[in-house]
Amino acid sequence: MRLTVLGSSASYAGPGQACSGHLVQAECSSILLDCGNGVIANLASIMDPARLDAIFVTHEHTDHWVDIYALQALLRYGPDGPAAPIGLFLPEGLFERMQAPLNKRGAEELAEAFVVHHLVDGVEVMAGDCVVTPRRVDHVYPTFAIEVQGDGARLVYGADTAPGDAILEVARGADLLIAEATLPDRYADAAPHMTPRQAGELGRAAGASQLVLSHLWPSIDREEAAVQATEAFGAPASVAREFDAFEVTPARAGKGVG
């Protein structure tokens, strides 16, 4: 299984960045985890977005889904005619909020581009040849971490979350853990997010084989974030950058290859 980072930034994209988006590819699957600002342009440089097997949106903050509108245009208005709709998994009620700014025809066209499913805590779904399980975590609104099992390996995308038992339980034993690290150390516990150090502590407590930090505020010093997370994790931690790629293997995640 392979992870490619498409967007690593929190809330807004810094120079050369995009907001939350991660491509997971197994032998017969291509799955998009979140679809924030700029993600579709980055995805299109790797593969045809119309060939995705499924998209999972973790919660309703727009930096995790606003490029759904760009994907809808790609799927509905290509010169060869509309592409087949893609499975879109997201919290209940969010798709209707996506439709709300659109006129009647726009809302209908958005619905035509996707097959909408609601995320249910702990209920597995198949996406290509991967088993995907959403798990509730501690953030605003219903927010779901996403566990992906494929090619014998297990990846956990923590989405946005405060530290605590919920994210620890889903992260246990992950071959690769993508952990948010939004906040500078001095703002620890000021919002339902984690610092790089807290992300490292989570990875260590969970026994994750590899830790990748993502969803960093654009002004955070990423080199210092790596140092803090590595100290807490007890092993080298990676800080995601756009187009970084990681091979995820059973029992021990592979090293970054991009």
- Answer for the pair 12, 218: CB distance below 8 angstroms, yes or no: yes
- How do the domains of the chain map onto residue ranges? 2-247
pLDDT at 141: 87
Q: 1: which residues sit within 8 A by CB, 6+ positions away? A: 24, 25, 26, 130, 148, 150, 151, 153, 155, 247, 248, 249
Helix (H, G, I), strand (E, B) or coil at 55: strand
- Answer for the pair 140, 111: CB distance below 8 angstroms, yes or no: no
pTM for this prediction: 0.95
Determine how many CB atoms are found less than 10 A away from the CB of residue 143: 25
Digit-coded pLDDT (tens) for 71-97: 999 999 988 889 999 999 999 999 999
CA 168 from chain centre, in angstroms, equals 17
Among 171, 169, 124, smallest CA distance to 150 is for: 124
- Answer for the pair 184, 218: CB distance below 8 angstroms, yes or no: no
- Answer for the pair 117, 132: CB distance below 8 angstroms, yes or no: no
Determine how many CB atoms are found less than 10 A away from the CB of residue 164: 13
Percent of the chain residues topping a pLDDT of 90: 95
Digit-coded pLDDT (tens) for 125-157: 999 999 999 999 999 989 999 999 999 999 999
State the average pLDDT for the chain.
Answer: 95
pLDDT at 255: 39
Superfamily of domain 2-247: Ribonuclease Z/Hydroxyacylglutathione hydrolase-like (3.60.15.10)
Helix (H, G, I), strand (E, B) or coil at 133: strand
**Residue 253 — very low, low, confident or very high, per pLDDT cuts 50/70/90?**
very low
pLDDT at 257: 42
Percent of the chain residues topping a pLDDT of 70: 97
Mean pLDDT of 12-20: 96
- Answer for the pair 111, 78: CB distance below 8 angstroms, yes or no: no
**Residue 256 — very low, low, confident or very high, per pLDDT cuts 50/70/90?**
very low
254 or 21: whose pLDDT is higher?
21
Across 39-129, where does the E strand assignment appear?
A: 54-56, 86-90, 114-118, 125-127
Mean pLDDT of 204-225: 97
Digit-coded pLDDT (tens) for 166-203: 999 999 999 999 999 999 999 999 999 999 999 999 99
pLDDT at 251: 74
Number of residues that make up the chain: 258
